[in-house]
């Protein structure tokens, strides 16, 4: 296949580009590098089956030659990043998704939209199923990300009703190597702080939950979605639910750190519970996560330790 991946130099995007290339596909990675890094795909640049196009998908996307699939991962996903650039986040999710869909339509290609568990907001049902409409504050500070993704889903659904072969994936709390240390989410914050010997910043009392899915499992789900005609939305995530305090303690133990836990007020609209129901993914994609959280956190901490050995400033304490 010949696959276009927008946001392909980002965290999940670069792993997906790598997996597509490894199975023999030609990959066109489109990224404006607002949060993605050339380093994430540097090992692919010499291959004739990989091309990096530095481009903002809010502008028209032109790809010469055939395109079999378009995967839209372009978005700021880091809370500090999207809170700092709210209009950019909203227009990437709206105009950018429109441009990516037009590219797929022009080539009669399969389209896969990367959405998020944040469309459920602070959920009133648990675990979250795809037929739940969510509990989102449409004008709160986090809405710039949540509503960008909700609008993108509506846009994909509209194109699908017009005949485009498109599907929607809702991503739950993915982690692993290549996450930016300034990402601002729990795993990266705790690792950076633990390795630096700084207090671990827990917001609220730490009883709120997250369900962590290792990046290789998430990529397998995307590959299955690309190769299918499933419309979705489909939850992709690990149903193993942990409290934020448990995540902090596990990372501290893996890192061999003596960091204490420092409690802070819970940010506005921060979701209190997150756990995917993955029945649809199991039934329609034959997908479920394989990497246990303990194994995944070990790998992620080890990768960060390697980066720290190369550059000690890589794990400077993070505050958000």
Domain containing residue 132: CATH number:
3.40.50.720
Whether residue 79 sits in one domain with residue 16: yes
Active site residue 145: yes
| Residue closest to 200 by CA, chosen among 143, 248, 141 | 248
Amino acid 267: pLDDT: 80
Whether residue 122 sits in one domain with residue 34: yes
Amino acid 313: pLDDT: 62
- Partners of 213 in the beta sheet? 174
Amino acid 318: pLDDT: 41
Distance CA 31, CA 34 (A): 8
Per the structure, the count of domains in the chain is: 2
Distance CA 314, CA 319 (A): 14
Residue 122 inside a domain? The answer is yes
Whether residue 248 sits in one domain with residue 141: no
Whether residue 197 sits in one domain with residue 83: no
Whether residue 266 sits in one domain with residue 229: no
**What DSSP string runs through the chain?**
-EEEEETTTSHHHHHHHHHHHHTT-EEEEEE--SS--GGGGGGGTT-TTEEEEE--TTSPP---S--SEEEE--S--SHHHHHHSHHHHHHIIIIIHHHHHHHHHHHT-EEEEEEEGGGGBS-SSSSB-TT---B--TTSTTHHHHHHHHHHHHHHHHHHHTT--EEEEEE--EE-TT--TT--SHHHHHHHHHHHTPPEEEETTS--EEE-EEHHHHHHHHHHHHTS-----EEES---EEEHHHHHHHHHHHHT--PPEEEEPPPTT--S---B--HHHHHHH-----S-HHHHHHHHHHHHHHHHHH-GGGG-----
Six-digit token pair at 4?
A: 């276009």
Amino acid 315: pLDDT: 52
Residue 33 inside a domain? The answer is yes
Contact 199/311 with Cβ under 8 angstroms?
A: no
Domain that holds residue 248: 186-207+241-271+299-315
What CATH number corresponds to the domain at position 194?
Answer: 3.90.25.10
pLDDT tens-place values along the chain, 320 residues long: 999 999 999 999 999 999 999 999 999 999 999 999 999 999 999 999 999 999 999 999 999 999 999 999 999 998 889 999 999 999 999 999 999 999 999 999 999 999 999 999 989 999 999 999 999 999 999 899 999 999 999 999 999 999 999 999 999 999 999 998 888 889 999 999 999 999 999 998 999 999 999 999 999 999 999 999 999 999 999 999 999 999 999 999 999 999 999 999 988 777 788 899 999 999 999 999 999 999 999 999 999 999 877 776 655 544 32
Q: Which long-range contacts (CB under 8 A, 24 or more apart) does 277-284 make?
A: 277/127, 277/128, 277/129, 277/130, 277/235, 277/239, 278/235, 278/236, 278/237, 278/239, 279/129, 280/130, 280/232, 280/234, 280/235, 281/221, 281/234, 281/235, 281/236, 284/228, 284/230, 284/234
Nearest 5°: the CA angle 242, 244, 250 is 75
Residue 166 inside a domain? The answer is yes
Residue 320 inside a domain? The answer is no
In SS3 terms, 186-255 reads as HHHHHHHHHHHCCCEEEECCCCCEEECEEHHHHHHHHHHHHCCCCCCCEEECCCCEEEHHHHHHHHHHHH
Catalytically annotated residue among 82, 120, 145, 214: 145
Whole-structure pTM value: 0.93
Whether residue 225 sits in one domain with residue 127: yes
């Amino acid at each position: 296949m010949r696959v276009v991946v927008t946001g392909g130099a980002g965290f999940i995007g670069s792993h997906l580009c790598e997996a597509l290339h490894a199975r023999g596909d030609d990959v066109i990675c489109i990224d404006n590098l607002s949060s993605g890094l050339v380093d994430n795909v540097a090992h692919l640049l010499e291959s004739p089956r990989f091309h990096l196009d530095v481009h903002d998908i809010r502008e028209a996307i032109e790809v010469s030659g055939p395109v079999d699939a378009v995967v839209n991962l372009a978005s700021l996903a880091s809370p500090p990043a999207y809170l700092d650039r709210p209009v950019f986040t909203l227009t990437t999710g709206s105009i950018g998704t429109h441009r990516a869909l037009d590219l797929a339509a022009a080539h009669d290609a399969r389209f896969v939209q990367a959405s998020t568990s944040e469309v459920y907001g602070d959920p009133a049902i648990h675990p979250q199923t795809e037929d739940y409409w969510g509990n989102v504050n449409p004008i709160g500070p986090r809405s710039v990300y949540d509503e960008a993704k909700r609008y993108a889903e509506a846009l994909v659904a509209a194109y699908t009703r017009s005949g485009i072969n498109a599907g929607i994936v809702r991503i739950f709390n993915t982690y692993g190597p290549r996450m930016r240390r300034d990402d601002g989410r729990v795993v990266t914050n705790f690792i950076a702080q633990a390795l630096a010997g700084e207090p671990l910043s827990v917001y609220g009392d730490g009883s709120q939950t997250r369900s962590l899915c290792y990046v290789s499992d998430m990529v397998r789900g995307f590959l299955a979605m690309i190769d299918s005609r499933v419309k979705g939305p489909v939850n992709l995530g690990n149903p193993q639910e942990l409290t934020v305090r448990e995540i902090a303690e596990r990372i501290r133990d893996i890192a061999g750190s003596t960091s204490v836990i420092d409690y802070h007020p819970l940010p506005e609209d921060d979701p209190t519970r997150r756990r995917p129901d993955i029945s649809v993914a199991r039934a329609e994609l034959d997908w479920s996560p394989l990497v246990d959280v303990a194994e995944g956190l070990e790998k992620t901490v080890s990768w960060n330790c390697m980066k720290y050995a190369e550059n000690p400033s890589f794990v400077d304490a993070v505050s958000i």
